[in-house]
Structure 1
Amino acid sequence: MEVSRPLNPNDVSKRHALTPLRLLRGLICLLVLLSTAFMMLVFCGFLTAVVFRPFSRHYSRTVTSFFFGAWLALWPFLFEKINKTKVVFSGETVPKGERVLLIANHRTEVDWMYLWDLALRKGCLGCIKYILKSSLMKLPVFGWGFHIMEFIPVERKWEIDEPLMHQMLSTFRDPRDPLWLAVFPEGTDFTEQKCIRSQKYAAEKGLPILKNVLLPKTKGFCACLEDLRGSLDAVYDLTIGYKHQCPSFLDNVFGVDPSEVHMHVRRIPLNNIPTSENEVTTWLMDTFILKDQLLSNFYSQGGFPHQGTEGTLSTMKCLVNFVAVIGLTGIFTFFALFSSIWFKIYVSLVCVYLASATYFNLRPSPILSS
């Protein structure tokens, strides 16, 4: 029997040194991810999410979800099969195919990427969406992908964010469209300095003092519930912990950390969540008090309770998906570089459109059906 050892959440040592081989492998992986993203966006994303959308938003999302689910699956393949990061799920086993709102703690800048590991196992990878800070939409190529996949950008100023959130959330109500909408109620990633500020604010306002999470911000979560309650099946409450230190984006790419990602899952049916904003605020605070305790136990005991709720990814399925995405990218690259001049013009025009549409948050409206 494996004995869990106490963890130090502030440990700054790396699991692996950044050797020249790891550096080279990471750069190759990053190049593959970037090039496949670019070609999928130009040749698939533009057609499925822009050209098809005026005729049917539902079928546009279905096809877009298929292609970009395949691309997103490259990331769990990188994490679990190439970098050998162990992803451990605990808590409850959730069913496939539900329309859900996900809430999670925000320990580091890449928490949101590990939600893909759970979504892939549940067949919902292509329909996962995030509420994320608008600055991430400015990332080259990846920002275009966030726009195509209908992530909701926020400025973290409610007077600016409220109308945009309600407008975009109103388009997610179709029960035919699979949906995993992820929200990080803390609003920013956890650091010691932010925790001290959060604790000081909590003390001034008579709120609970939390050690491992920040006080949750409730307006965005309440807005999601208000707009989507009638079309959701449940809320998934995810608590994420890392061994043996919190990774950065480059740690993920180069495979130096983390050694293990632990994800505790709770499924809360919608009828168990109150309807009034004040009661929802209290419910969310209670949820984060529970998260704080779960993380305290995780750091002292080395794991969450009830581990082993999900199996490992199939290496064969990961490889088949990888070959398919690389094959498509190769075909698209040939057309873009070595075929007719019209393909080069097409690629140039699509790049201009995607850059403009992402910057101004523009999407075509359905004209025939939703």
Structure 2
Amino acid sequence: MDLGFRLSAAASLFLLPAAALGLRLGQLQVLRHEALKSRADGEFSRVAEEAAPRADILDRAGRVLARSAPSWSCFVDKAMVKDVDAFAAKLAPALNLPASEIARKTRGAVRFAWLKTKMDAAEVEALKHDGKVAGVGVAPIQERLYPNGDLARGVLGLVGTEGRGLAGAELTLDKRLRGAPRRFQIIRDGAGHAIYKSVADDGRVPDPIRLTIDRNIQYLAEEALRDGAGRHAFKSGILAVQDPRNGEILAMAAWPPNPLKNPLVQDAYEPGSTFKVVTALTSVDELLVKADETFDGEQGKWQVVPGVTITDHEGQGLMTLSQILERSSNIGIAKVVERVGAARFYRMSRALGF
């Protein structure tokens, strides 16, 4: 057996394990590449979101009624806590909370629980410096602030802990007020420490929304209700101020104030005497009543049918249509509406947007 053959055989035997290794690497890199990549991404790669600030709400002059500011919330991952009492004792000084409260929240958690919300930057730095405990995390949020206190809170409404509107304009305009969160691609090592972070999506901060409300007029309206409640002890009251030139609402106030409810737009009210204008307008539009024509006010009491009597707060005699509206006569407008009829009244109501 010559030397060359022996060298070839030895080389083949030497390379045989490498060939097997190469086949295995080929299988992993080619055939199972996507499955293994997905598994690794699931274990070491995460997509994190940073809450985007909600849009400012402004009054008609551009003055801020509601805005967002960065804040942080501290949470516990119960699965990573070995000794609840020791955990609570070490964390209490950093969070400025009783250890008993931290222990109670931790024991009551299924997996995660909020320990403290609405933390500022100084508190977060103190937590990082003094409260390095396994199982504690900090989540950035956007806190909703109202610089004018309770002013116009019935109009503005309320935002929940998840950053979504719960009432008022915050709820009605929620989709326009909420921005798109920033998204980060985070890669962690085997110990769970972040070793790489990149911005996957810059998100979107929405444009401010301007209301027709005037902050100063709103203040005067609320003060008038507050003063009236103090003087006359009424249980509830509402007040709206409208610009007669274009119908824009300059103020909407209610007593008692409630950020979860605005009775001016949420409660149902009978139109009452305000709808006398619709009846009168229909009669004029349909040429059913002449300007000098009069209707008998029956001296304040008119029995329409047995058992049904319409009354006025003051007895009236003959009245023109203008006088009926001026005196808000129930009897006079009832006689006009008899001439108008249900069909014409309905058509005019719909034409006016009711």
* The two structures share one fold, judged by TM-score above 0.5: no
**What is the TM-score of this pair, normalised by structure 2?**
0.21
Which is richer in helix?
1
Query: Larger C-alpha radius of gyration, 1 or 2?
Result: 2
Bigger relative contact order, structure 1 or 2 (CA pairs below 8 A, ≥6 apart): 1
Which is richer in strand?
2
